[in-house]
Each structure stands twice: as structure tokens, then as C-alpha cells.
A = this chain, B = another copy of it.
Amino acid sequence: LKPQAFIFDAYGTLFDVHSVLRRDGSNISGDLQALSQLWRQKQLEYTWLRALMERYEDFWQITEAALRSVVRQLSIETTDRQLERLMQAYLFPAAFGEVKSALEVLKGSPLAILSNGSPAMLDSAVRNNGLESYFAEIISVDKVKTYKPSPRVLRTWAQDSEPSRSRDSLYFLQLMGRCWSQGVRLPGLLVQPVWSRNGRLGVCS
């Protein structure tokens, strides 16, 4: 079984979410590392809770709500202008250092992104890191109005995406980053997530 495509998470896999505060938080006083960690954690919590409650709001709205909640929680004094600036910075997260060389190695197979990010956020992050030529598809959960790890995300992608539609034989997909899903079997198609860490690969179970 040979992978016929690689599909990547965006935030935390291609893009370093903590680059936002490192680069654009300098005018804010407080524990910026704690702010960055909690912002990320709360952002993920909100995606899980909203998906589970079936009350979807897009990733931009969730990211801003998480930021406002964490700033309050940590009693960090900020102006609306500062928060607005951090949100704008979220459109320009830095790619991890090894991303480009990894994409160069893998680009013989079709590459895609499947992310919680809203389409505008993903488009901006990819473009501003000069990665747009690598990806055949950039898919946002916004299409299905739920979040990872709902199996609807992977199922919908597998049914709708261009490479899977164009083949009727087995299609094998690898997901980099954290295991957030089991494999999905559809007629003529197996979607099998894998994890990757420090250059090792493994199949998610």
C-alpha cells in the first residue's frame, strides 16, 4: 500500500501558532508565553465544544473569542486595538522551519491541506509563506460546518475532493500531525491517517 497523496493539518503542523505572539505581542505587558499557550488551548476547546453542541462558528470567530476569554482569565490589560492587531497577525503565522524542505521531498505526490481554519485564513497563511505552489487543494472544515475530529470532516473530504473523485481504485491518504481520526473506508477508497514525529511515521489506530 503506497500513499497516493499527503494531506496536512495547517495550524501546529505547517504553521507555528505561537509565532503570532512572539512577533506581534511586544506591545502587550504580561506573560506572553502563557497567553499564547492558553489562547491555543482555548481555541481548540471552543472548536470541540461548538462542534459537539452543533453550534458552528467559523475559526476566525472562535480564535477571537478564545483570545478575549484568555486575556480576561490572565488579567492582561489590552486595548481593542491591540487585540485587533493580534487577530490580524493570525493571518500571517510563520511556517515551521522544516516545512519547505519536507514539501520539496513529498511533492511527487499530490499534497493538500485539510484544516479547521476558515478559507480566508488558510489562503492568507499559505500565500504569505510562499507555499501556494505545493498544494493541489486547500480544504476548510467551513464547508461542513463542524470541526476536527468529527468524522464528518474526513468523510466529506474523501467523498468530495478532486483526487478521490478522479480514481475508482484504492486511494491512500496520509495525514500528518496529530492523530485525530481513524481510517475511513468508502467504496474504492481507503483514507488512512498517519502521525509523523521527528521524521518517523506511524499509522493512527
Contacts and interface: CB of A to CB of B under 8 A. Distances in A.
A67 to B, nearest CB: 20
Nearest to A146: B52
Interface of A: 45, 48-49, 51-55, 147, 149-151, 180-182
20 contacts: A45-B45, A45-B48, A48-B48, A48-B49, A48-B52, A49-B149, A51-B52, A52-B52, A52-B147, A52-B149, A52-B150, A53-B149, A53-B150, A53-B151, A53-B180, A53-B181, A53-B182, A54-B150, A54-B151, A55-B182
Contacts of A45: 45, 48
Contacts of A54: 150-151
A7 to B, nearest CB: 18
Contacts of A51: 52
A147 B181 CA distance: 18
Contacts of A53: 149-151, 180-182
Contacts of A52: 48, 51-52, 147, 149-150
A103 to B, nearest CB: 28
Nearest to A53: B149
A28 B161 CA distance: 52
A49 B52 CA distance: 9
Interface centre among A48, A54, A55 (most CB of B within 10 A): A48
A91 B170 CA distance: 49
